[in-house]
A = this chain, B = another copy of it.
């Protein structure tokens, strides 16, 4: 019955993989999540492997680049964030309010992940894919909210979702816990800057 037939190629077969491989993949995700919390997303690979009780080879086999691992760990939350856009658009008082709420969501996500915002913009070796995944996944949602706010006349047109997302991500970079620097305040400033001068 568990015929491992795989007609096409597709992104996520997960069929035909050996039981130990599946087990280890899960173990690695759990270990990585834990290590990310304590040591940040750029923790030594060895540390994650040790935590999971596997060898270095295993980690690289499952997650060829660091970005693959980070994406896997945070995939759920990113997808959730992407999905929240339309919902907020429906529920909020105005498109701009929805945009603001959504941005808050995104910022909350970033600031609670030690070093993630940094990694997102890092020009380091294994992080491009991370950058790409986040942007690919979230820019469309952001664009939808942005467009709605433009259509409603609440904000000036001309700003691209890609640029805004990167800007917000950038503002979230920093040693966490500095009371003199709160990304939220600056992000708020950025959003205010988007507004139409006069409500027409």
- In whole Å, how far is A132's beta carbon from the nearest beta carbon of chain B? 12
Whether A173 touches B115, Cβ cut-off 8 Å, given contacts A163-B182, A180-B163, is: no
A159 contacts B by Cβ under 8 Å:
yes
Q: Which of A115, A123, A159 has the most CB of B within 10 A?
A: A123
Contacts of A159 in B (CB 8 A): 185, 189
Residue of B nearest to A164 (CB): B186
Docked Cα-Cα span, A180 to B190, in Å, equals 18
Contacts of A192 in B (CB 8 A): 192-193
Contacts of A173 in B (CB 8 A): 121, 170, 173
A181 contacts B by Cβ under 8 Å:
yes
24 intermolecular pairs with C-beta atoms under 8 Å apart: A40-B123, A115-B123, A118-B121, A118-B122, A118-B123, A121-B174, A159-B185, A160-B180, A162-B181, A163-B180, A163-B181, A163-B182, A163-B186, A166-B174, A166-B181, A167-B186, A167-B189, A170-B170, A170-B171, A171-B171, A173-B173, A189-B190, A189-B193, A192-B193
Give chain A interface residues in 91-136, CB to chain B under 8 Å.
115, 118, 121-123
Number of A interface residues in the complex (CB < 8 A): 30
- In whole Å, how far is A11's beta carbon from the nearest beta carbon of chain B? 26
- Are the C-beta atoms of A190 and B181 separated by less than 8 Å? no
Docked Cα-Cα span, A191 to B193, in Å, equals 7
Contacts of A182 in B (CB 8 A): 163
- In whole Å, how far is A102's beta carbon from the nearest beta carbon of chain B? 17
- Are the C-beta atoms of A174 and B170 separated by less than 8 Å? yes
